[in-house]
Chains A and B, each alone.
Chain A
Amino acid sequence: MDKAKIKAKLPLILLLAFIIFTIIFPLVVKDRFLISILIEAGVMCLFALGFAAVFRSGQFSLGQAAFLAVGGYTGALLASKAGLPFWLSLLGAGLSSAVVAFLLGIVILRMGGLYFSIATLALGEIAIIIAKNWDSVTSGMTGIAVNAPIVKIGELSINFATTKLPYYYIMLLLIILAALMFWRIDRSRLGTVIRSVAVAPVMSEHVGIHLMKYRVIIFTLAAFVTGIAGAFYVYYLSWVGPPLFAGSQSMVALIMCVIGGLWSAVSGPIIGAIIVSYFGTMMQIHLEGLRPLVFGVVVIVMIWFMPNGLVELQYRFPAWVKSLFKKKGKVPDAAA
Chain B
Amino acid sequence: MPLLELNHVKKAFGSLLALDDIELSLNKGEVLGIVGPNGSGKTTLLNVISGYYHPSDGEIAYKGRKIGGLRPDQIARMGIIRTFQQNIVYWDTVTLENVYRTCYLTAKTNYWQSFFDTPAWVKENKELWTKALEIVQLFGLGDFSFSLAQGLPHGKQRSLGMAMALAADPDVLLLDEPLAGMDASEMEVVLGNIRKIIERGVTIMLVEHNIKTVLSLCPRIVVLNFGHKIADGSGQEVLKRQGVIEAYLGVE
Residues of A within 8 A of B (CB): 184-185, 188-190, 192-193, 195-196, 199-200, 202-211, 311-314, 317-318, 321-322, 324-325, 328, 330, 332-336
Q: Are B115 and A207 in contact (CB under 8 A)?
A: no
Please name 4 further chain A to chain B contacts, defined as beta carbons within 8 Å, in addition to the given A196-B104, A199-B93, A321-B97, sorted by A numbering. A189-B111, A190-B115, A195-B90, A207-B167
Instruction: Tell me the bound Cα distance from A202 to B91 in angstroms.
Output: 13
Q: Of the candidates B76, B81, B92, which one forms a contact with A311 in the assembled complex, judged by CB atoms under 8 Å apart?
A: B92
Confirm or deny: B53 has a beta carbon within 8 angstroms of a beta carbon on chain A. no
Confirm or deny: B133 has a beta carbon within 8 angstroms of a beta carbon on chain A. yes
Q: Are B145 and A336 in contact (CB under 8 A)?
A: yes
Q: Are A184 and B133 in contact (CB under 8 A)?
A: no
Q: Are B88 and A317 in contact (CB under 8 A)?
A: no
Contact partners of A193 in chain B: CB under 8 A = 101, 104
Q: Are A203 and B88 in contact (CB under 8 A)?
A: yes
Q: Are A196 and B90 in contact (CB under 8 A)?
A: yes
Contact partners of A317 in chain B: CB under 8 A = 93-94, 97
Q: Of the candidates A195, A208, A330, A333, which one forms a contact with B76 in the assembled complex, judged by CB atoms under 8 Å apart?
A: A208
Instruction: Tell me the bound Cα distance from A118 to B113 in angstroms.
Output: 36
Residues of B within 8 A of A (CB): 50, 52, 71-74, 76-77, 81-82, 84, 88-94, 96-97, 100-102, 104-105, 107, 109, 111, 114-116, 121, 125-126, 129-130, 133, 136-137, 142-143, 145-147, 164-165, 167-168
Given known A-B contacts A196-B104, A322-B146, A335-B146, A210 and B94 have beta carbons under 8 A apart: no
> Nearest 9 CB-CB pairs, A to B?
A333-B142, A336-B146, A188-B114, A208-B76, A189-B114, A207-B168, A208-B105, A203-B88, A205-B72
Q: Are B129 and A203 in contact (CB under 8 A)?
A: no
Q: Are B137 and A209 in contact (CB under 8 A)?
A: no
Q: Are A318 and B168 in contact (CB under 8 A)?
A: no
Query: Looking across the interface, which residue of chain B has its beta carbon closest to that of A184?
Result: B115
Minimum CB–CB distance from A243 to chain B (whole Å) comes to: 39
Q: Are B91 and A199 in contact (CB under 8 A)?
A: yes
Given known A-B contacts A200-B88, A335-B146, A318 and B102 have beta carbons under 8 A apart: no
Minimum CB–CB distance from A87 to chain B (whole Å) comes to: 23
Instruction: Tell me the bound Cα distance from A336 to B97 in angstroms.
Output: 14
Contact partners of A196 in chain B: CB under 8 A = 90, 101, 104
Contact partners of A324 in chain B: CB under 8 A = 126, 129
Instruction: Tell me the bound Cα distance from A228 to B113 in angstroms.
Output: 26
Instruction: Tell me the bound Cα distance from A192 to B168 in angstroms.
Output: 15
Instruction: Tell me the bound Cα distance from A251 to B145 in angstroms.
Output: 38
Minimum CB–CB distance from B101 to chain A (whole Å) comes to: 5
Q: Are B90 and A199 in contact (CB under 8 A)?
A: yes
Q: Are A321 and B109 in contact (CB under 8 A)?
A: no
Minimum CB–CB distance from B85 to chain A (whole Å) comes to: 12
